[in-house]
Amino acid sequence: MDKIAAIAICIISILTISFIQTAQADFMLTAPALYIRSPHHASLEVYKNNTITIDIAVTRFTDGPDIEKIVYSLDGHTLNTLDIIRDNQVVDFGPTKTGYIYYGRAVLTLANGNYTLIAHVMDVNGKTFSNSVDFRIDQYYVPPTVTLLSPLNQTYNSSDIPLVFSVE
């Protein structure tokens, strides 16, 4: 990663943490929560298919403000609005809170590369909650092969059993 990208990520992280700490007390009990269910973080999965599903779930308490919109941007480009689908089943969020789950989905076709998806949910009172994920598409990615050489599939009479493996 080059220095400019690393500095930009640091600045965005600091601003995000600062925003969350400032706004946390203001909407902790009523703000919608946003979860990016897909794509997964690059450390968990490398996508070999260049067609990616963006899948965002938003929860809100029954007594909280309604969801106005769910938007996302890819690598800081234009905000795109997702169609909101509300699950009409009331969800139990704990001993005294119930609410609803909303979904936003989109399918994108992207070239090989590293991407940052930033998603925002806005309620009708203008409060915003955001989340982001870095993901990677590499149609030619071949995961490493790990071969376990020891221990063997047998009974050992010692507690000193070496773990030996190879990675290709």
Structure tokens at 107: 């399918």
Position 18 pLDDT exceeds 50 = no
Confidence of residue 4 (pLDDT cuts 50, 70, 90): low
Q: What is the pLDDT of residue 2?
A: 62
Q: What are phi and psi of 82, to 5 degrees?
A: -95, 145
The count of C-alpha atoms lying within 13 angstroms of the C-alpha of 130, restricted to the half-sphere facing its C-beta, is 20
First-to-last C-alpha distance (Å) of the chain: 24
| Residue type (1 letter), 10 | C
Q: 66 pairs with which residues across the strands?
A: none
User: How confident is residue 19, by pLDDT bands cut at 50, 70 and 90?
Assistant: very low
